[in-house]
Amino acid sequence: MDEFSDADDDRGAGRSIAVVGAGAVGLTAAHDLAARGAAVTVYERGDVAGESTGRAAGILYDAYAEDVDARIAGRAIERFRALSGTGGFEFRETPYVWFVTEPGRKADAIRQQVDGMVRNDRRVERVDADDLAAEYPALRTEDVVEAAVSRNAGVADTAAYADAVAELAVAEGVELREGTAASVALDPPRVNGDAYDAVLVAAGAHTARVLADAGVSVPLKPYRVQALTAGFSGEIPTLYDATEGYYARPHPEGVLAGDGTEEVEADPEAYDRDGDDWFVDAMRERLADRLPGFEPDVHRAWAGLCTATPDRDPLLGELADGLYVAAGWQGHGFMRAPATGEAIAAEILGGEGVPAFDPTRFDGDEVFEVVEGMTVE
């Protein structure tokens, strides 16, 4: 048994399970299923971490006010730490700071969030502008009117996580089929004509299409987000400016920053994967304003896809007999992948799963608007 797994049973023995999607969640589930004795095949039409996982920001924290979210995020942090040092993956301890620069509704929301997080035993506290300036002199803080910091937080290379878990999964016996598109059917659950005891679709922005081809509708909408890396030598936490609506985190190239969310449905087969000029220009201005001494040396800018649901909670669980889904993360998928992958694996093997995220709470034909996932309200 590897350090990433705490499997102490063989509940999966004798079961055959297919996973569609070799992103962070799908690979975690595949690993955990195999660690409990299941025969697992992963279908990935591209490469490991080739889609949303590889384009994610790699921001990690457990600062949630809702008890279910806090529990899942806390478990994810535990597993990120356990995996650190495996292959090329490293969990870098990095506090997460979120703040506003105007009084009003969002400032009140931060105070309320902190109260809820403390009730859930999260390591968070309110801080003021002077506190931030003392701890992070590289930040301009005099305009901050309300802020909080989460200490149980970090950053990571998202592709390195996927590669490390894929390696562990293969060592547990998982058959990883990269470059293999998947067609799912039911009664019994099948992928590309091969029957399985269970099929998990964890295909990110492609999940709705994969399931639709199997005759199953789910309320998922992909939406486009953007990020960039730039040079910077100062020490900063991960930060989220809730007034301006952008985030930044330390990165080997200096700083990684993002925003550029388009609150409209995107086509996962035909979206622009490069960062827009307007986004790059806007982020240069924001970083120069928040990080005195920042030089507008942008190294690269890209776009990726997140997936939205009507209530902004994920779809995690059984949709039909033997068919499971794990999608709809609203931009928080990688952050929670070690825990959500673990949870769906447990449910497939007879566990409770996460009732609050049961996908059958929806009919599948809901009409809803895309709403950005990283907000303070």
Query: For the chain, which domains are there?
Result: 1-92+151-218+311-377 (3.50.50.60), 93-148+221-308 (3.30.9.10)
- C-alpha separations of 216 from 96, 212, 270 in Å: 39, 5, 23
pLDDT (tens digit per residue) in 329-364:
999 999 999 999 999 999 999 999 999 999 999 999
For residue 2, the model assigns a pLDDT of 66
Beta strands 190-191; 194-195: pairing state: antiparallel
- C-alpha separations of 230 from 233, 254, 295 in Å: 10, 6, 8
Does the pLDDT value for residue 1 go beyond 60?
no
pTM for the model stands at 0.97
For residue 7, the model assigns a pLDDT of 77
Alpha carbon 366 to chain centroid distance? 23
Does the pLDDT value for residue 204 go beyond 90?
yes
**Which pair of tokens denotes residue 162?**
């996927």
With a pLDDT cut of 90, the percent of the chain lying above it is: 94
User: DSSP secondary structure string, 296-322?
Assistant: --EEEEEEEEEEE-TTS--EEEEEETT
Does the pLDDT value for residue 189 go beyond 90?
yes
For residue 3, the model assigns a pLDDT of 67
For residue 8, the model assigns a pLDDT of 80
pLDDT (tens digit per residue) in 74-95:
999 999 999 999 999 999 999 9
Main-chain phi, psi angles of 370, to 5 degrees: -75, 130
Does the pLDDT value for residue 43 go beyond 70?
yes
Mean pLDDT (the chain, rounded): 96
Residue range 265-275: average pLDDT? 97
Q: Is 150 left (phi over 0), alpha (psi -120 to 50) or beta?
A: beta
pLDDT (tens digit per residue) in 118-173:
999 999 999 999 999 999 999 999 999 999 999 999 999 999 999 999 999 999 99
Whole-angstrom Cα distance, residue 233 to residue 348? 46
* Residue 40 one-letter amino acid: V
For residue 296, the model assigns a pLDDT of 79
Residue range 287-295: average pLDDT? 93
For residue 223, the model assigns a pLDDT of 97
Residue range 16-30: average pLDDT? 99
For residue 4, the model assigns a pLDDT of 80
Does the pLDDT value for residue 377 go beyond 90?
no
What secondary structure letter does DSSP report for 274?
Answer: B
Categorize the per-residue pLDDT at 225 as very low, low, confident or very high, splitting at 50, 70 and 90: very high
- 99, 241 in Cβ contact below 8 A? yes
